[in-house]
Amino acid sequence: MLDGSTEIANLTKPFVINNVNPTLSATASLTGLEGTAKLFALGSFRDPGFTSLLAGTRETFTGTIDWGDGSPVESANLTVVNGSAGVESTGTISGTHAFKNNGTYNAILRVTDDDNGSGTVTVPITNLYLLGFPWLINQKLAFS
């Protein structure tokens, strides 16, 4: 900054850049069959962070699923489309699970970015008991 003399002063002002957590959306109306493993397309996420070679940044994501049935929390399958300046990174969340009993379960999805920012969403999944013989679904025409 020039003040009318020949002296130059540098002004600095500290600033903080905060991470923005991923935002998740749940898939509606998911249904499974008791005792049968199924690949569920559970939801999607978006995040303003992105990988940029020019800026030297690398945006990565991890995900977990708590199926809501007492089973251990599992890693989620994530597919990621890297964003760019002004375009958010996006992705989908999926996982395979077999519920042991019929009923409605509230699965909790969590996606965490490389800065430890995370977002969660709850996905209701209705698990059906088919005709009283769920094991028949897993039999590949054993009676033919």
Per residue in 55-73, pLDDT (tens digit) is 888 999 999 999 999 999 9
More confident residue, 56 or 133: 56
SS (H, E, C) the chain: CECCCCCECCCCCCCCCCCCCCEEEECCCEEEECCCCEEEEEEEEEECCCCECCCCECCCEEEEEECCCCCCCEECEEEEECCECCECEEEEEEEEECCCCCEEEEEEEEEEECCCCEEEEEEEEEEECCCCCHHHHHCCCCCC
| 137 close to 131: Cβ distance less than 8 angstroms | no
Domain ranges of the chain: 23-138
The highest-confidence range among 5-9, 64-68, 136-140, by mean pLDDT, is: 64-68
Q: What's the one-letter identity of residue 44? A: S
Using CA atoms, how far residue 111 sits from 19, 31, 73, 77, in Å, is 14, 22, 13, 10
CATH topology (fold) of 23-138: Immunoglobulin-like (2.60.40)
Supply the pLDDT for residue 38. Answer: 97
d(CA 28, CA 26): 6
pTM: 0.80
Per residue in 72-101, pLDDT (tens digit) is 999 999 999 999 999 999 999 999 999 999
Give the model's confidence band at 103: pLDDT under 50 very low, under 70 low, under 90 confident, else very high.
very high
